[in-house]
């Protein structure tokens, strides 16, 4: 019996058509079970029916721009479920024919929860695909995942055309499994890190701190930084998220530590590094490996970083070299220092606000692009202000402990001989 779509308000439909992932999640969770039952009437296999339903939702999501009403959304879902189920039955028939009449049937996979399937759907949505036919290819990946549960069976030797067909069937099963599994760890980790019950460590501007987790991972938090980890770390997921800047020393473990920084995931085992991505960096990430090696991943792209190397990853996944001066400016805090070499004054003031907790407000913006070179200990705001005045040809006037006024002092600075 065809499933009935749960009521959808005009606002929810507008959000769905507009591409809001929260709207897809709401529609998916409210209707996944009903459309699974519809698919199961054909397949008589709940786990396979769940795959079909998930694939159908992905297919409809990619067609959302052409939908004009919730009734059309429901009709399109029915068509997608019917098409996916029919395709699955044909795949089974072909697999049975190839295995022979005496082959043992593979045990049915166990059904999963709607939460588990939503994580898979999110992963499939975010998985980069070759251009032009994203919707069809993602649906194909979901549709064929069931084939991965087939076990090898003894069968008579086949030659010629039958051998070729067998190879095609095998490839059709293996490739979708690769795409579904790739990134599954980070998808799960991302979900757990985004939950309200995730544990959070926070430092305010001017603060720093060190924490050792139960798996002996050491975290050094820079100023104005948040580090998240799952409630049941490391059992639920061996993962962390850095929002700001932090140094991590990860011991050797059975599974790598997954660290989300900006738009990238780091895979770390027995390595030490410092990473940075503040909200104002818009997903870009800066990284310095200090011991061991680690792998940076963005979609299908990855790069291995050895000790002593630095890296800049833009928010679109482009990897670039980090020049020496900028690297020192970004990572000197990990050695207890504030260091700037030919850095714009506006950026230096922003960093001083983070690492010393002092907001220095210029009288005007005419000199904010002036290059500044200075070095100071993070333990002394007074030393930092003195170094800023000398290195930037400015004058700082403290108003309170956390606020100061800045004026241009270049006219009063005597040139060096």
Distances (CA, A) of 370 to 232, 344, 388: 48, 5, 12
Helix residue ranges, H only, 153-226: 161-181, 184-193
Mean pLDDT computed over 321-340: 95
CB 364 within 8 A of CB 310: no
Which is higher by pLDDT, 371 or 103? Answer: 371
pLDDT in tens, 73-83: 988 999 889 88
Mean pLDDT of the chain: 83
pLDDT of residue 107: 61
Q: Which CATH number fits domain 336-412: 3.40.50.620, 3.30.70.1350, 3.40.50.2300, 3.55.50.30?
A: 3.55.50.30
Which H or E run contains 33? helix 21-43
The domain defined by 197-328 folds into Jelly Rolls (2.60.120)
pLDDT confidence bin for 96, thresholds 50/70/90: low
Of the candidates 228, 138, 150, the residue with the CA atom closest to the CA atom of residue 182: 138
Listing from the earlier edge strand, what are the strands of the sheet with 403-408? 359-362, 403-408, 394-398
Question: Is 173 a residue whose pLDDT tops 50?
Answer: no
Asked if the model's pLDDT at residue 386 lies above 50, the reply is yes
Confidence label for 183 from pLDDT (cuts 50, 70 and 90): low
How are beta strands 403-408 and 394-398 bridged, if at all?
Answer: antiparallel
From its phi and psi, is residue 336 left (phi > 0), alpha (psi between -120 and 50) or beta? left
Q: Which pLDDT does position 91 carry in this prediction?
A: 77
The ranges assigned to domains in the chain are: 10-182, 197-328, 336-412
| Contacts of residue 239, Cβ cutoff 8 Å, sequence gap at least 6 | 186, 189, 192, 193, 229, 230, 233, 257, 258, 259, 260
The yes-or-no verdict on residue 98 having pLDDT over 60 is no
Is residue 178 very low, low, confident or very high in pLDDT (cuts 50, 70, 90)?
Answer: very low
Cα pseudo-dihedral 157, 160, 162, 168, rounded to 10? 120
Residue 101 pLDDT > 70, yes or no? Answer: no
Q: List the structure tokens of 135.
A: 């919707």
- Reported confidence tier of residue 174, pLDDT bands at 50, 70, 90: very low
Q: What is the pLDDT of residue 1?
A: 66
User: Which pairs from 33-36 meet CB under 8 Å and 24+ separation?
Assistant: 33/114, 34/3, 34/4, 34/5, 34/6, 35/3, 35/77, 35/81
Give the pLDDT confidence of 215-226 residue by residue, as tens digits.
999 999 999 999
Residue 284 confidence (pLDDT) above 60: yes
Q: How far is CA 359 from CA 142, 346, 348, 351, in A?
A: 52, 12, 11, 10
Q: Which residues pair with 183 in a beta bridge?
A: none
Which residue would you say has higher pLDDT here, 9 or 384? 384
The whole-angstrom separation of Cα 267 and Cα 318 is 18
Please tell me if the domain spanning 197-328 has the same topology as the one spanning 336-412.
no
pLDDT at 194 over 80: yes
């Amino acid at each position: 019996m065809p499933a009935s779509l749960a009521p959808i308000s005009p606002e929810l439909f507008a959000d769905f058509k507009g591409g809001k992932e929260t709207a897809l999640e709401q529609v998916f969770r409210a209707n996944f079970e009903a459309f699974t039952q519809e698919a199961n009437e054909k397949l008589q296999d709940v786990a396979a029916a769940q795959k079909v339903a998930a694939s159908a939702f992905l297919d409809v999501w990619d067609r959302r721009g052409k939908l004009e009403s919730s009734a059309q959304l429901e009709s399109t879902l029915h068509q997608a479920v019917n098409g996916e189920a029919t395709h699955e039955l044909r795949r089974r028939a072909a697999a049975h024919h190839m295995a022979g009449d005496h082959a043992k049937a593979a045990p049915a996979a166990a059904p999963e929860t709607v939460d588990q399937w939503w994580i898979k759907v999110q992963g499939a949505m975010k998985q980069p695909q070759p251009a032009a036919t994203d919707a069809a290819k993602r649906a194909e990946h979901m549709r064929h995942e069931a084939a991965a549960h087939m076990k090898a069976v003894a069968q008579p030797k086949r030659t010629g055309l039958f051998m070729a067909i067998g190879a095609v069937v095998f490839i059709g099963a293996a490739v979708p499994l690769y795409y579904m599994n790739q990134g599954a760890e980070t998808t799960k980790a991302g979900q757990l890190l985004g939950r309200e019950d995730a544990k959070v460590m926070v430092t305010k501007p001017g603060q720093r701190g060190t924490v050792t987790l139960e798996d002996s991972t050491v975290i050094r938090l820079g100023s104005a930084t948040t580090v998240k980890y799952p409630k049941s770390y490391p059992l639920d997921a061996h993962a962390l998220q850095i929002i700001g800047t932090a140094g991590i020393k990860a011991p050797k473990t059975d599974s790598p530590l997954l660290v989300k920084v900006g738009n990238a995931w780091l895979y770390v085992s027995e390595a030490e590094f410092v990473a940075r991505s503040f909200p104002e960096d818009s997903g870009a990430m800066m990284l310095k490996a200090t011991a061991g090696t680690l792998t940076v991943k963005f979609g299908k792209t990855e790069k291995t970083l050895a000790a002593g190397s630095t890296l800049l990853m833009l928010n679109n996944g482009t990897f670039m070299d980090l020049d020496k001066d900028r690297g020192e400016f970004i990572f000197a805090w990990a050695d207890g220092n504030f260091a700037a070499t030919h850095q714009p004054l506006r950026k230096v003031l922003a960093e001083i606000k983070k690492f010393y907790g002092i907001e220095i407000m210029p009288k005007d913006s005419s000199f904010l692009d002036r290059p500044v070179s200075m070095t100071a200990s993070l333990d002394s705001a007074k030393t930092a202000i003195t170094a800023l005045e000398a290195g930037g040809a400015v004058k700082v006037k403290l108003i309170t402990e956390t606020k100061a006024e800045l004026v241009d002092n270049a006219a009063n600075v005597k040139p060096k001989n």
